[in-house]
A and B are shown apart, each in its own frame.
Chain A
Amino acid sequence: MLPIEVGRSLGSQWPCRDVQARQLASLLSPHVPSPPTIVVHGISATCKSTILRGVLSTLEVPHAIIRSSECITGRHLLTKILWNTLDALGQKEEWEKAGKGRCEHISGLAVLLEECLAARTSDTSKKFVLVLDEIDKQREAPHTLLSALARLGEIIPSLCVVLVLSSTPRPLFLQSAAVPHISFPPYTRKEAIDIILTSNAPVVDGLPDETSLRVYPYFVFTVYDSLIGPTAGSIPNFRSICERLWPKFVAPVVNGEAPPGGNTEWDFSRLLVKNRSIFRHQGESALVHRIVPEETSTAITKQKTPLSNVTMMPSALPSLPYFSTLILTSAYLASHTPQRLDTIFFSKFSSSSLSARNKRAHHRRRLKVLSQAQAEERQAANDDPSTPNKRGKGKRTKTRITKSTLSSAFATSSATTSATGSGSGITGPSTILTARSFPLERLLAIYHAIDPNPPATPLRVAAVADRIYAELATLRRLRLVVPAAGHNGAASSSGNTTADAGDKWTVNVSGEWVGELAKGIGVEVGEWLAGGLD
């Protein structure tokens, strides 16, 4: 079969990948010798593996495909390569010969593969293709793995190794020259829209076919331009958004609403004007995958004004028991108050007197002024991507100011102090990352300072520390408060449960939630925070 025919036969099913299919077909054709190594690369969802599989099965070349993402270790990968090769060659019963099915090193693999391929009964000159899918994502791979695998094809003449990468390879990354690379670029606007339009519009009950035919192409164009193009969405993403939005888009037609302006028929521009909000709200939320999908299917048929459906049901925030809430609040404060300000904010002496309050307020204000400029900048940045509001409007604006001023206040204050937190690269939501570690004793001390119902007799206090440890263990299990070492080191700490008095901890949740929880038990977090309450 000629490459052009292969391309054509695959093109009907997988459009817009004609060039790549032909390239692959000519390189892997059973009648011409193949290069020892081929690199296929392109970002995810560009049809690499599918086209490769299609070409190989159309050409009827013996091959084995190994999904590298399923191999846990390098050794696992090698064993799998050997096994799948034996399987593809029909020599599975003879595994005893092939190193007893065990393969621990790549040099061993070369020998074993050579033996297997030589043992083929039929035409020995026939080539064998080994496809290693997503090989750049291999876990626990030695750094020489890729170049070593590329050598396999040179050592064994009848073998052709195809490496499928999802990242763009650096020049000469295989340490050998002239390896053919086949690139699968992301689909262009035209290609993507063509692909979507090859399948028909999703069926909507009560919509005339003719309207659907007329409006759907425009709809797909609009979806691409507004949602997919700017976010570099993939084809499956594109398709699912089209499927989700289409019924809502044509809802006015289905419901038999009268078109505006005295016209008798809906055309695309009228529908678009009517449904602008769909693209704004639902489109944006459609881009974000959630584990629990919003119940849309039932709403479509009845819903007349899609706007009212937009606001997501805010799943009730978890509430913690009283004592745990207080501990979490103290942990949050311990993480977010510079230690040098402890005596100002948490000093037990005259904590309720006017002068102490004034002092706290003064410091909060000073820190705020210091960071005013940055706060505004940050707020401007915060405003843009803010998604539709979930909770009450009034609360939201308040917390937003607090949050941004706070975070910038800490950026400055941590710069002036010895900067424990600035060591780690700061990206992402600032409230979490600016949380600094604190020793347990500080948490206990702050707990006593903010306790809204302090015990009447100080003698009874002694038991509190012991009770705190038990609750802290639960909070830790919920990953609300974590040991500071585990924050960066990750896996090492998940199993052990030891806690030393000197160990440091950090809080691991956003301030908004803690603030609300604390309000529920009568603690105003802002009062204790630098920059809060103003």
Chain B
Amino acid sequence: MDPDGLNDALGLSDDKSQNLGAYIYQPPKHGKAGERPSKRRKVSVSGNEPAQIDRQRFVPLLNGDENAQSVKLRHDSYQQLWSEQEHKIQAILEDVDAGVLTEVSSFVRETSSQTCNGCIPTALVTVGSNVSSLSRLLSRLNEQLISTEEGSVVVLESGDAPNLKTTLKNIIRATITNTDGNDGYQRFLTDRSGPRLLGYDLDLLHDYVQRKGTKKLVLALRDSEAFDTGLLTDLLSLFKSWIDRIPFTILLGISTSVELFEGRLPRSCVALLQGKHFEVQEAGNCVDRIYESLQTASSTQLWLGRNITSTLFEITSDYFQSPEAFSRMVKYAYMSHFFANPLAVLFAKPVPIALLSQRKLCEVIRNLPSFRIFCEDLVEEGSTKQVRDMLENDGYLLKETIRCLDAGQQKMRSIFQAVLAVHVCLQYTQNTGKATVSDLSVRALSGELADSTLVDDMIAMMKALDSNKLDELIGRLQDILYNEQLGAIKANLKLLLETCPESGSLRSGYNINSTVTTTTVVQSRVQLSKGKAELSEQDVEYTKIIDQLLVFLQDYLAETLIRPQDMFLHEAFLFDLRNPLKETFAPRPRFAIERALATPFDYLLSSSDATATKISAKQPATAILYQLYLESGALVNVHDLWRAFSGVFENEEGDSCDDRVVMSLFYSALSELKTFGVIKNSRKKTDHLAKSAWMGL
């Protein structure tokens, strides 16, 4: 496909410069001054157009040689894979909210101003850094209340509340449009007897509440901290005086803490409110669950590698981030994989062999680093025939590839099973510093989990488990692993426990309690001697069982927890490029601007090669001025700056330099720097400019 066609499809053809790294911005030309810009007509988008664009969103890879069908396959398998994962994420989010939702909705239903000593019933929802969860909660609460015809939820944000009048207008409008739509609101304003009321008159709302028979009108302030305190006080006192007629319930979303929030309100305002405090689960927990379900589910086909995982969790712990943002980042990772990796075709089910048998794809596979390692291993094993076939026979290679892909995916699944198993064991052995599934996954993905101290400690601790705990533990392990050996151990333990039901829990020989310290006093010296306490017969049996289990576990872990990077075709099913994710989600505008100004030829094409670092008249005037500015102190005399600036031009052009032109360049550069917010007029000294930005911060 030619690039122009693609641009047409993407709607970029009118401005090709968007594809360039650096370009000169040309604002769209307006007609005559004073003429109003033509209004854009609203056109309803016809159905088939976006579908076509959608298909062409992926570009052919392999130097453009990839055929259209495999492009489509990559796109389709991406869609299918991600939609599955998205369902899972959605389910988790809903599940996380469910508890709070029921609590809040029952609070809303059960409380009224009568039960709150005449105060406004208030639900304080602390969301912590999990900012987005509140909007999910509110929309579901709204649906519930509307479906039971009890009332509705009106969401108010700090942006909607610049002053009291507008806020009230917004509240009234939002309440009515929530149930009746925008037309309903207009009709409501006009279709009433009597004169037209002012838009901010709560009589309107009162009327509406009476007509609808609303029992609960929940007003949710999503970011309560951001509201102006004076406004909030006014608003609340107004509600308080109306509460005998309009059944308000206030829901405040708080991101810091109830104390901090309460401390900022005046006492008189706090006295108007009474209610309950709810806590939404922290984002970190939610993110962990999402990650766990994405990676460990048995239907997973593509895994996120170690680098990505650690990047994702670094961002979660270091910054404010919602679970939605997390899932968006994961989505981006999936997208990048399918967008840029030709091997992603292999994910299509069933694998279209005929389609795949292109020369290029086979070449790609043969050039994979993991293929080389795979072949080397095969040669070492002595199966040279297989290697030769793979190198020469495309059909055979593809068959082998698909087989290996399946096997590799299977291995990945078992790695994560092992991670879960270790996680379960850790819950029984570790009392402090819980390692999360994500921590373990990072280790497993780098192939370090099997012989980490964490696992060693775990094994050591497991020796000391008593029989009750061990029984539980094996039960839970069985949920994760289906293994005959484990079943046998479980059966043995059961048998043992049945034979001695009266002796309570059994202890193993490794338990500290079963070593006895004896103290003997010999000639006024204390002698300590350790000896094994007498173990009962059952305990000896039990110790054997523990030994069996430990041997099994060690073998199992050593066998499953291999380095994913050693597997053939890991490039296809393991996405582990840190860069697109980091760059995309942490843009660096300030850095880019500073760099462009300080070294403009990093971005612009230079006409001569020599001007690498030095200031020269060939650079844009703003860049020259900026570099001079960097050399100065906190206060700059404008005249000095001008001398230096004109000096740059005089140096290069000698006498031919026109002072007036340079002066005008100087002025325009100065005003541009001012627009950037880099300099401002100083109040301390006349004729001086104050620096207000420093490079490299």
Please report A residues at the B interface, Cβ cutoff 8 Å.
67, 69-70, 72-73, 75-76, 79, 92, 95, 100-102, 139, 240, 288-293, 315-324, 439, 441, 444-445, 448, 461-467, 469-471, 474, 477-480, 490-491, 494-495, 500-502, 509, 513
Establish whether residues B270 and A441, one from each chain, have CB atoms under 8 Å apart when the complex forms.
no
Of B159-167, B338-346, B472-480, the segment with at least 4 beta carbons within 8 Å of chain A is B159-167
CA distance A212 to B65 in the complex (A): 95
Establish whether residues B226 and A291, one from each chain, have CB atoms under 8 Å apart when the complex forms.
no
CA distance A491 to B232 in the complex (A): 11
Establish whether residues B275 and A69, one from each chain, have CB atoms under 8 Å apart when the complex forms.
no
Establish whether residues B591 and A462, one from each chain, have CB atoms under 8 Å apart when the complex forms.
yes
Contacts of A477 in B (CB 8 A): 158, 223, 225-226, 255
State which of B198, B320, B586, B587 has its C-beta within 8 Å of the C-beta of A79: B198
State which of B168, B223, B264, B271 has its C-beta within 8 Å of the C-beta of A72: B168
Return the CB mask of B580-604 against A: 1 if under 8 Å, else 0. Answer: 0000001111110011000000000
Contacts of A470 in B (CB 8 A): 319
Interface core residue of A95, A318, A461 (most chain B CB under 10 Å): A318
B242 at the interface (CB under 8 A from A): yes
Of B26-34, B49-57, B233-241, B415-423, the segment with at least 4 beta carbons within 8 Å of chain A is B233-241
Contacts of B21 in A (CB 8 A): none
Establish whether residues A321 and B162, one from each chain, have CB atoms under 8 Å apart when the complex forms.
no
Q: Smallest CB-CB separation from B589: which chain A residue?
A: A466
CA distance A323 to B165 in the complex (A): 38
Given contacts A318-B126, A465-B697, contact A323 B255 (CB under 8 A): no
CA distance A469 to B320 in the complex (A): 12
Establish whether residues B320 and A321, one from each chain, have CB atoms under 8 Å apart when the complex forms.
yes
CA distance A419 to B231 in the complex (A): 30
State which of A464, A494, A513 has its C-beta within 8 Å of the C-beta of B226: A494
The list of the 10 closest CB pairs from A to B, nearest first, reads: A101-B195, A501-B677, A444-B697, A462-B591, A323-B318, A479-B225, A289-B271, A322-B318, A466-B588, A502-B692
Contacts of B195 in A (CB 8 A): 95, 100-102
Establish whether residues B242 and A240, one from each chain, have CB atoms under 8 Å apart when the complex forms.
no
Contacts of B202 in A (CB 8 A): 70
Contacts of B198 in A (CB 8 A): 72, 75-76, 79
Contacts of A291 in B (CB 8 A): 122, 124, 258, 262, 270, 273-275, 277
Given contacts A291-B274, A444-B697, A494-B226, contact A324 B588 (CB under 8 A): no
Establish whether residues B692 and A501, one from each chain, have CB atoms under 8 Å apart when the complex forms.
yes
CA distance A468 to B241 in the complex (A): 43
Contacts of A501 in B (CB 8 A): 677-678, 692-693
Nearest CB on A from B310, distance (A): 14
Establish whether residues B228 and A321, one from each chain, have CB atoms under 8 Å apart when the complex forms.
no
State which of B257, B264, B270 has its C-beta within 8 Å of the C-beta of A289: B270
CA distance A474 to B320 in the complex (A): 8
Establish whether residues A494 and B194, one from each chain, have CB atoms under 8 Å apart when the complex forms.
no
B185 at the interface (CB under 8 A from A): no
Nearest CB on A from B253, distance (A): 11
* A-B CB contacts (within 8 Å), total count: 163
Q: Smallest CB-CB separation from A314: which chain B residue?
A: B259
Contacts of A464 in B (CB 8 A): 697
State which of B117, B228, B241, B591 has its C-beta within 8 Å of the C-beta of A67: B241
Contacts of B316 in A (CB 8 A): 321
Given contacts A292-B124, A491-B163, contact A240 B226 (CB under 8 A): no
State which of A72, A461, A494 has its C-beta within 8 Å of the C-beta of B696: A461
Tell me which residues from 286 to 318 in chain B have a Cβ below 8 Å from any Cβ of chain A: 316-318
CA distance A480 to B264 in the complex (A): 11
CA distance A461 to B230 in the complex (A): 41
Establish whether residues B264 and A479, one from each chain, have CB atoms under 8 Å apart when the complex forms.
yes
Establish whether residues A321 and B273, one from each chain, have CB atoms under 8 Å apart when the complex forms.
no
CA distance A463 to B594 in the complex (A): 11
Please report B residues at the A interface, Cβ cutoff 8 Å.
117, 122, 124, 126, 128-129, 158-159, 161-165, 168, 194-196, 198, 200-202, 223, 225-231, 234, 237-238, 241-242, 255-260, 262, 264, 267, 270-271, 273-277, 316-321, 586-591, 594-595, 677-678, 680, 692-694, 696-697
Establish whether residues A478 and B225, one from each chain, have CB atoms under 8 Å apart when the complex forms.
yes
CA distance A101 to B198 in the complex (A): 11
CA distance A323 to B587 in the complex (A): 16
Interface of chain B: mostly helix, strand, loop or mixed:
mixed
Establish whether residues B680 and A502, one from each chain, have CB atoms under 8 Å apart when the complex forms.
yes
State which of B159, B234, B586 has its C-beta within 8 Å of the C-beta of A139: B234
Contacts of B258 in A (CB 8 A): 291-292, 315
CA distance A230 to B190 in the complex (A): 55
Nearest CB on A from B226, distance (A): 5
Given contacts A462-B591, A502-B677, contact A478 B259 (CB under 8 A): no
| CB-defined A-B contacts under 8 Å, sample of 28 | A67-B241, A70-B238, A76-B200, A95-B194, A100-B195, A102-B195, A289-B271, A289-B274, A290-B262, A290-B270, A291-B258, A291-B277, A292-B275, A315-B259, A316-B257, A448-B697, A462-B696, A463-B586, A464-B697, A465-B697, A467-B319, A478-B225, A491-B162, A491-B230, A494-B161, A495-B159, A501-B692, A502-B692
Contacts of A471 in B (CB 8 A): 319-320
Establish whether residues A509 and B320, one from each chain, have CB atoms under 8 Å apart when the complex forms.
no
6 new A-B contacts, CB < 8 A, other than A70-B202, A76-B198, A467-B586, are A69-B237, A288-B267, A315-B126, A477-B255, A494-B228, A500-B677
CA distance A501 to B195 in the complex (A): 51
Q: Smallest CB-CB separation from B256: which chain A residue?
A: A318
Contacts of A445 in B (CB 8 A): 694, 697
Contacts of A316 in B (CB 8 A): 257
Q: Smallest CB-CB separation from A477: which chain B residue?
A: B226
CA distance A500 to B117 in the complex (A): 47
State which of A289, A319, A321, A444 has its C-beta within 8 Å of the C-beta of B318: A321
Establish whether residues A490 and B230, one from each chain, have CB atoms under 8 Å apart when the complex forms.
yes
State which of A288, A317, A324 has its C-beta within 8 Å of the C-beta of B319: A324
Contacts of B126 in A (CB 8 A): 315, 318
Given contacts A466-B588, A471-B319, contact A441 B259 (CB under 8 A): no
Nearest CB on B from A470, distance (A): 8
CA distance A509 to B117 in the complex (A): 31
State which of B163, B241, B257, B318 has its C-beta within 8 Å of the C-beta of A69: B241
Establish whether residues B128 and A318, one from each chain, have CB atoms under 8 Å apart when the complex forms.
yes
Q: Smallest CB-CB separation from B284: which chain A residue?
A: A321
Establish whether residues A315 and B693, one from each chain, have CB atoms under 8 Å apart when the complex forms.
no
Q: Smallest CB-CB separation from A469: which chain B residue?
A: B590
Q: Smallest CB-CB separation from B230: which chain A residue?
A: A490
Interface core residue of B227, B242, B262, B318 (most chain A CB under 10 Å): B318
Establish whether residues B165 and A72, one from each chain, have CB atoms under 8 Å apart when the complex forms.
yes
State which of A73, A92, A467, A513 has its C-beta within 8 Å of the C-beta of B165: A73
Establish whether residues B162 and A495, one from each chain, have CB atoms under 8 Å apart when the complex forms.
yes
Establish whether residues A318 and B255, one from each chain, have CB atoms under 8 Å apart when the complex forms.
yes
Contacts of A502 in B (CB 8 A): 677, 680, 692
Contacts of A92 in B (CB 8 A): 194
CA distance A464 to B588 in the complex (A): 8
CA distance A192 to B512 in the complex (A): 70
CA distance A134 to B168 in the complex (A): 21
Nearest CB on A from B317, distance (A): 6
State which of A75, A293, A318, A441 has its C-beta within 8 Å of the C-beta of B274: A293
State which of A75, A292, A461, A463 has its C-beta within 8 Å of the C-beta of B276: A292
Q: Smallest CB-CB separation from A316: which chain B residue?
A: B257
Establish whether residues A441 and B161, one from each chain, have CB atoms under 8 Å apart when the complex forms.
no
Q: Smallest CB-CB separation from B198: which chain A residue?
A: A76
Nearest CB on A from B245, distance (A): 10
Contacts of B595 in A (CB 8 A): 462
Interface core residue of B225, B259, B680, B697 (most chain A CB under 10 Å): B697
Contacts of A72 in B (CB 8 A): 164-165, 168, 198, 200-201, 238
Contacts of B696 in A (CB 8 A): 461-462
Establish whether residues B277 and A292, one from each chain, have CB atoms under 8 Å apart when the complex forms.
yes
Q: Smallest CB-CB separation from B118: which chain A residue?
A: A236
CA distance A186 to B182 in the complex (A): 50
Establish whether residues A466 and B586, one from each chain, have CB atoms under 8 Å apart when the complex forms.
yes
Contacts of B678 in A (CB 8 A): 501
